[in-house]
A and B are shown apart, each in its own frame.
Chain A
Amino acid sequence: MIRNNYIGLLFLSVVMAVIPLFISNVYYLSILIFIGIYSLITIGLSLLMGYAGQISLGHAAFFGLGAYASGILTTRLNIAPIPAAIVACLFTGLVAFLIAVPTLRLRGHYLAMATLGFGQIIYVVFNAWIKLTGGPSGFGDIPRIRLAGICFDSDFKYFYLVWSVVLVGFLLAIHIVHSRIGRALRALHSSEEAAGTLGINTSRYKIEIFVVSTMYASIAGSLYAHFVTFLSPESFGISFSILLVTMVVFGGRFSVWGAILGAAVLFSLPEYLRVARDYDVLIYGVVLLLVVMFLPGGLAGWLDGMARRISLLFISRAPKRMKC
């Protein structure tokens, strides 16, 4: 029920509001900031992959488009960060729309390869259009965000900024899931033919949700740009696209909560394992393989199953769930 989600969201908001007061080490704050930024992308991606059943192996490119657009608009054209981020978001959405129209007619492997191809093309452009993007050496000096007189230059302040955006994005996603749009998406995922005969314009909805997911990625990119203040194309290649898919699959692609879980666990996993930054690739590969083979619902699905089993132990009759 949507009410459960509201309660969960309220709980999460309170927790996130309070956490920074207890963390003295800035390093942990920055980890939480990255988790927030990545969660924003995975929330959008889970709408696309879990609910609509499509796949995108090129989402890092849209993250990059948002980041570079924000960076370029604020450094070269001196536009303020917030309007720049909005423009970047609209621009990314437009690019995504143009890509989506021919691409989403494809299915399965063809769709996956096409998204991979687009992601790579955009990555090549980041590297090759040196005048605009600075090429492989990247470009920096991206200004901080100023809002209502506050300059977001410390990790402490940035944490609140990022997580406010994440929680709003999360709320919107939950609303979409629990609406006729969400049901239409799940319907077209389950049987595109049957969905069509019930009046659902499957092409239009696939395109719409694709564009929405890229806009989430773009906003995350803008937040990223103003946080790290230096961009280089490496962060926006195939590896990151696959990492994003891993996060969604691991967290549980059928759940928006799973998106945050996936980002949180997988981003911090290499930290816990004290593994060199490079070997996270190997870990992600193993995780992806194991989750897909043994835990189709991901972590969230597993937890949900556990919770249901535990509640069955305590309640004699399972309550009729009218999930919406």
Chain B
Amino acid sequence: MTLGSQILQYVISGISVGSIYALVALGFNIIYNTTGIINFAQGEFVMLGGMIAASLVGIFSVPLPVAFLLAVLIVTAAGALFERLAIQPLKNPSVLVLIIITIAGSILFKGIAMFIWGKQTYFLRSFSGDIPINIFGATVLPQTIWILGITAVVVVLLNVFFNFTLIGKAMRAVSSNRMAASLVGINVKKMVLFSFALSAAIGAVGGVIITPIALMDYERGAMLALKGFAAAVLGGIGNFHGAIVAGLLLGVLEALGSGLISSHYKDALALMILLLVLFLKPSGMFGSAQVSKLKEF
């Protein structure tokens, strides 16, 4: 394989993993925009989506599309339940309390996953077979096309949702000015619940589409959350388009770094990028510096 097609290989695999980082980052942004909360449990939604789909197909022989839908629905319900039980009852929580609560949530999800599925790794069959396609010398799995395609569909749907539906616009109103939104009759509490449910759904989609390539186990959530958060911050926290670009970029950088330099330290790369952004330009690539300074953290 020539160096050129090797690099192309890394870039393509980087984009597919990067799509998941982008989806996680989108989930972070949705909740953050509506509530100002950073949901540390975001990665667990991805994990649960993958695990549920894998069990439904592998153990119960549920047809794949049905399993996909069910996994997303179940995780959405879990996200909504989490918001109702752990977030909504809090009165004027401090930042520290919120951080601890969402961390506790992530531990709980992880613990439940370990209880149900144990510690082994789970496998989900690819959506349309495993025969690789050859593009300019690089081998591309069909699943990668699915990942890119479904992510693109999610992005388009989100765009439509936030720009053309009443609920979507209501959520944007809440993130722009909570007080004003409630004054015009928007049920802020419902919007918060909705944001958690929507984020959970997006995360679950990510989980289902990546499991055929990357497999899934109960511990994956934390790393996914960290990297997704790195993407969110890199793209400018709260900025949707930034999240997508940053997620893909992060995936590609990780794949290139791992392939060309060393695979042992692969995980550290995303973390270093996160730290560099936090230290040097917390507003990320596309955020505004003044806005990020004024945001109450």
Contacts and interface: CB of A to CB of B under 8 A. Distances in A.
Nearest to B279: A102
Given A106-B278, A128-B265, A292 B114 contact: no
A240 interface: no
A114 B265 CA distance: 18
A108 B99 contact: yes
**Contact-size category for A:** 35 or more
B56 interface: no
B128 to A, nearest CB: 35
A281 B104 contact: no
Interface stretch (A39-47, A146-154, A282-290): A282-290
B86 A281 contact: no
Contacts of A249: 100
Interface in A101-118: 102-103, 105-110, 112-114, 116-118
Contact of B297 (A110, A121, A127): A110
A120 B271 contact: yes
B38 interface: yes
A289 B101 contact: yes
A127 B101 CA distance: 29
A288 B107 contact: yes
A53 interface: yes
Contacts of A288: 100, 103-104, 107
Contacts of A245: 100, 103
B111 A109 contact: no
Contacts of B179: none
B116 to A, nearest CB: 11
Please classify the interface of chain B as helix (H, G, I), strand (E, B), loop, or mixed, using the class held by over half of its residues.
helix
B108 A289 contact: yes
A142 interface: no
Please classify the interface of chain A as helix (H, G, I), strand (E, B), loop, or mixed, using the class held by over half of its residues.
helix
Interface stretch (B89-97, B141-149, B248-256): B89-97
A96 B95 CA distance: 23
Contacts of A110: 233, 278, 282, 297
Interface in B80-94: 86, 89-90
Interface in A274-303: 278-279, 281-286, 288-289, 292-293, 296
A281 B119 CA distance: 13
A117 B115 CA distance: 27
A245 B96 CA distance: 11
B38 A113 contact: yes
Interface residues of B, number: 41
Interface string B258-297: 0000101101100110110011001000000000000001
A118 B112 CA distance: 27
Given A102-B279, A108-B99, A293-B89, A124 B268 contact: yes
Contact of B274 (A113, A124, A278): A113
Contacts of A281: 107, 110-111, 114
B274 A117 contact: yes
B272 A121 contact: yes
B57 to A, nearest CB: 26
Contacts of A121: 268, 271-272, 275
Contacts of A242: 103, 107
Nearest to A253: B96
Given A128-B264, A282-B115, A106 B282 contact: yes
B212 to A, nearest CB: 26
B122 interface: no
B24 to A, nearest CB: 13
A238 interface: yes
B218 to A, nearest CB: 10
B297 A120 contact: no
B265 A124 contact: yes
B265 A285 contact: no
A107 B297 CA distance: 6
Contacts of B222: 238
A292 B112 CA distance: 20
B250 to A, nearest CB: 13
Contacts of B271: 117-118, 120-121, 124
A219 interface: no
Contact of B278 (A53, A113, A296): A113
Contacts of B97: 292, 296
B229 interface: yes
Contacts of A283: 111
A39 B273 CA distance: 34
B95 A108 contact: yes
A188 interface: no
A112 B108 contact: no
A293 B96 contact: no
Contacts of A286: 104, 108
A289 B267 contact: no
A-B CB proximity, top 7 nearest: A282-B111, A285-B107, A108-B297, A128-B264, A108-B95, A288-B104, A285-B108
Interface of B: 38, 86, 89-90, 95-97, 99-101, 103-108, 110-112, 114-115, 119, 222-223, 226, 229-230, 233, 262, 264-265, 267-268, 271-272, 274-275, 278-279, 282, 297
Given A242-B103, A285-B111, A293-B101, 10 more contacts: A49-B96, A108-B99, A108-B297, A109-B95, A110-B297, A117-B230, A120-B271, A245-B103, A279-B111, A281-B114
